[in-house]
Amino acid sequence: MSNILLGVTGSVAAIKTPELLTALRARGHEVRVVATRAALYFFDPTGWPDGTLVTDDDEWPRRGAGERYQREDPVLHIELRRWADALVIAPLDANTLGKLAAGLADNCLTCVARAWDVRRPVIVAPAMNTHMWEHPATRRQLAQLAADYGVPIAQENDVDAVLAATQAHRGTLTIVPPQVKELACGDVGLGAMADVEAIALAMQAALNSV
């Protein structure tokens, strides 16, 4: 059994969070969910066991009480990084992809990602509108993310080449490509998050390769 940290960002695909949580746990893993504020709009964690869900408000709990940091307070994003054997970010929205590529750390999830040991598995499942997926910035950001995990990229301006290079590299970064579907906005095209089972299988494969 492994400890899996499931990062959830503000894509409509976050509605599948309960289903994905169940699929990961069905493989015998302990799973905790760290969600951005935007992600919380799309799923209801009511009934989840205590400690399953982590939000930005949990990072520095004294702040909510109007108090200040004390030296003995735990640093949650570091505690989560120490706890987890693998980091799964699904869905990975366009905004968070840009943050990861730039090395930004402005919420609990991106702090975990920035503090992550790049020798340990990271599985990301992008999800966004087709035009966002096809935007030149997406290609650059995916290439940068891959490079941060040691993936050699020959064609940075070709998203398919970036995905193929990541798959061929067999390193610690796994990108589970989006699929063609009718999106929440009504557009039909490439950008919908991969099926839950595909993400769960990718996570298991990444763990098995360590």
pLDDT of res. 60: 79
Count of residues making up the chain: 210
pLDDT of res. 71: 77
Residue 79 and residue 148: Cα distance in Å, rounded?
A: 22
pLDDT of res. 156: 65
Cβ 172 vs Cβ 120: under 8 Å = yes
Residue 186 and residue 207: Cα distance in Å, rounded?
A: 36
Which domains can be identified in the chain, with CATH numbers? 3-64+72-208 (3.40.50.1950)
pLDDT of res. 158: 84
Mean pLDDT confidence for 39-65? 90
pLDDT of res. 15: 98
Provide the token pair at 202: 């990718």
Cβ 98 vs Cβ 137: under 8 Å = yes
Mean pLDDT confidence for 89-96? 98
pLDDT of res. 25: 97
Residue 144 and residue 19: Cα distance in Å, rounded?
A: 30
Active site members = 185
Q: If you average pLDDT over every residue of the chain, what do you get? A: 93
pLDDT tens-digit series, residues 9-35: 999 999 999 999 999 999 999 999 999
pLDDT of res. 75: 87
With a cut of 90, say whether residue 47 has pLDDT above it: yes
Cβ 155 vs Cβ 168: under 8 Å = no
Mean pLDDT confidence for 163-176? 92
pLDDT tens-digit series, residues 194-209: 999 999 999 999 999 8
More confident residue, 60 or 167: 167
pLDDT of res. 133: 96
DSSP string, the chain: --EEEEEE-SSGGGGGHHHHHHHHHTTT-EEEEEE-TGGGGS---TTPPTTSEE-HHHHSHHHHTT----TTS--HHHHHHHH-SEEEEEEE-HHHHHHHHHT---SHHHHHHHH--TTS-EEEEE---HHHHHSHHHHHHHHHHHHHTT---S-TT-HHHHHHHHHHHTSSEEE---EEEE-TTS-EEEEEPPPHHHHHHHHHHHHHT-
pLDDT tens-digit series, residues 125-156: 999 999 999 999 999 999 999 999 999 886 66
Provide the token pair at 40: 């919380």
